[in-house]
Structure 1
Amino acid sequence: MAIDEEETIEQAAEARRERLRALKAAQQLLENPEAEDEENDVNVKFRNYLPHDKQLQEGKLVPPQLPKFEDPIASEPPIDEKKEDPFLNIAPKKPNWDLRRDVQKKLDKLEKRTQKAIFQLMGMLVDCNRDGSETSIKGILDFPSSGTSNIINLSNKKKKRSWLKKMVKVMILGTKQWLGYIIQLKFKSELKTKLRTWAA
């Protein structure tokens, strides 16, 4: 009978263990009912990676549809750029091109002054035509560039106009010739200094 009692005790202990396991499982289900579902159904999402396994390829996400970006610069018409002839840079430049470039600011100033002087002379011419008096013409003739102001007798209006036009032309040509002379002098002086340095 001792053997029967031991078997019954073992069976009772085994049954008790089974009940305890069942209670433990029921308690875990009550605490986390979704835990088993998540463990059984694991979904891995791939955004940038394409897996080699066919089972995992189902988890590949479709790339999102992005709105079209319109480039504001591309919509503008292209600006026509001046295309320079590549052979222009090959041709030799004049020997005084750098001097002309350096004197260009002074030339621009003198051009403005010339235009201003022409405008003043034309205004004086209009004043002379209105007045008709010789005193206003003498005022015009007294500026330093006219060496023959005392000799000329301008009594006729047509002579006055033609003489003033000639004076304007002489002033314009005089400033241009004067600038050309300055450029030549500067070029000659630089050339002399270069020759001296080369000779030494």
Structure 2
Amino acid sequence: MEKAVGSLQEQAQKRKERLKALRDRQLQGRGPDDGEPERKRAAEEAESEEKHRELKLRNYTPEDEELKERQVPKAKPASVEEKVKDQLEAANPEPVIEEVDLANLAPRKPDWDLKRDVAKKLEKLEKRTQRAIAELIRERLKGSEAELAGAVGAVGVEEGDSD
């Protein structure tokens, strides 16, 4: 285990040295000992000269005649009134509603969200309740029909006895 810690420390030390050397190279700039061939450096210098942009003077008024040629003419601001008119015509705001619904303005009760969430479950329960009530009514009607039939049969038997 001590060997692993020692090798990790050695690697960390080497990494620190490489980073320090890299930082030194960046601070000193490129030197002839960078390992790049002179052809490559010459090509990079030529590219940097080609990339040079022409000087444009926007906010500075030069006194020199040569520099006055490079001055950019002042930009004229666009008319704000025309843009605003166009936007207003495009928008055409809707007419204001004259009647105000008091239900929308009145504050809601504190439990309105609970009622909203429970409404679907209550609908299902209401359907089941209606089915159960209908079934109970049917059973009572069947029971009353049997009693009625029994009563009619008993009356018929009584009438037959009296004859």
TM norm. shorter chain > 0.5: no
Q: TM-score, normalised by structure 2?
A: 0.29
TM-score by length of 1: 0.23
> Which structure's CA Rg is the greater one?
1
Q: Which has the bigger relative contact order, CA under 8 A and spacing at least 6?
A: 1
* More helix by percentage: 2
